[in-house]
Chains A and B, each alone.
Chain A
Amino acid sequence: MVPIIELCNVTKTFGSSQRPAIVLDSINLFVGEHEFVGIVGPSGSGKSTLLRLMMGLTKPTEGEIYYRGKKVQDVCAGMAMVFQTFAIFPWLTVVENVELGLQGKPFAERERRERALRTVELMGLNGFEEAYPRELSGGMKQRVGLARALISDPEVLLMDEPFSSLDPLTATHLREEVLDLWSDLSVAPEAVVMVTHNVEEAVYMADRVIVLTPRPGRIARDVPVQIPRPRDPRSSDLYRVVDEITGLIA
């Protein structure tokens, strides 16, 4: 498989060089074409840091990160991120928030708006174009977050605990929609990397689950999930994998 993202011996430390706190230790991993990768681990295992490193938002202390064979030096234009806390601007409407995903890209104003409206519709936000974030439920806010990420047709979609601050019913629904997008090749990104502390969610959604150890984060196991899609979130096959992973973390 051709790797889209590759991490070679990546270590990340914070703090002074005399007494550094090691967050990630000797991470080797790759994300391939049309792969949905889940990353799970206890809090403090450096899951979010791993995503930030992939996107180029922070630099590794040691080791190299490659995107399509090129070393990541700066923020990667081919990637987009979705955050747990939505990270949308309260003073902008839904459509304006979504348009921000095209910031720095050479589009005329009219095309910007057209794309934004298309993405808004894709995420089921039509009808809410002129709404402000304070008028939206959590699920709708995260749809804005997803639309803003998807508007630039990113090659890789990075998601950091995207469903963790939603109520269980809303989370169930939005997971389905993300999976629908994933199965629709005309709109799906080439790869998705999702960080979550919810093992069931990772196994339900991903093709492969990478399990990190507690601090410092190392790769404890790389578990392929060979269950055909669409999956039943309550099937015994799925729970067997969930149990295997939970055993590694607990």
Chain B
Amino acid sequence: MIGLLEVLEDFEGRVDVAKVADDLILELDDLLPAVEAAELLGFLKVESGDLILTEEGKQFLSRGTKGRKKLLNKRVSSLDFFKMIVDFAKNHNDEVTKKELLDFLQAKMPDADAESTFHWIVEWGRSSLILKYDSSSGKIRIMP
């Protein structure tokens, strides 16, 4: 996702999505997850087939690794979905097992594949320093 923002910056902040895919020799389908992620975080907008870097996106890029993590932490923890997960864990003394979280996800979103949602949560949660996950004990800890 950050790679995509950097490419957008090279194109001065606005470019046709097909051109990006072409430039990177990437199928459109392979590009879309990154587009969706960046859009969800407010780092880019999609307008009639163009990708536009937002002010937040520019600000994010202008920071170093540490600053980016901080901003990412702020953005991700403000997502309703993540708030729900964090609240759930807080009710369990900041620590839940994978099984508990899977059951919770299954109950909340019976149509979604709980296992892949779980992976997504761990990936994003780790990247934004919201949670830690130890796969050998299967425990998720919310970071203070």
Contact = CB atoms under 8 A, between A and B. Distances in A.
Real binding pair? yes
A134 B26 CA distance: 24
A22 interface: no
A131 B6 contact: no
Interface in B1-43: 1-4, 6-7, 10, 24-26, 30-31, 34
A132 B123 CA distance: 12
Contacts, number: 61
Nearest to A166: B3
Contact of B3 (A126, A128, A131, A172): A172
Nearest to A233: B10
Interface stretch (A36-44, A173-181, A209-217, A218-226): A173-181
A127 B126 contact: yes
Interface centre among A122, A124, A168 (most CB of B within 10 A): A168
Interface residues of B, number: 30
A171 B34 CA distance: 14
Given A131-B135, A135-B122, A173-B3, A122 B10 contact: no
Nearest to A124: B65
Contacts of A177: 65
A236 B53 CA distance: 24
A234 B7 CA distance: 10
Contact of B7 (A126, A137, A169): A169
Interface residues of A, number: 27
Interface in A174-226: 174, 176-177, 180
Contact of B134 (A130, A174, A233, A234): A130
A126 to B, nearest CB: 6
A73 interface: no
A122 B65 CA distance: 7
A242 B133 CA distance: 44
Contacts of B98: none
A170 interface: yes
B128 A169 contact: no
A168 B24 contact: yes
Interface in A111-160: 121-124, 126-132, 135, 137
Interface of A: 121-124, 126-132, 135, 137, 167-174, 176-177, 180, 232-234
20 contacts: A121-B65, A121-B66, A123-B65, A127-B125, A127-B128, A127-B132, A130-B134, A167-B26, A168-B24, A168-B26, A169-B1, A169-B7, A169-B31, A171-B3, A172-B7, A172-B24, A173-B2, A176-B6, A233-B10, A234-B10
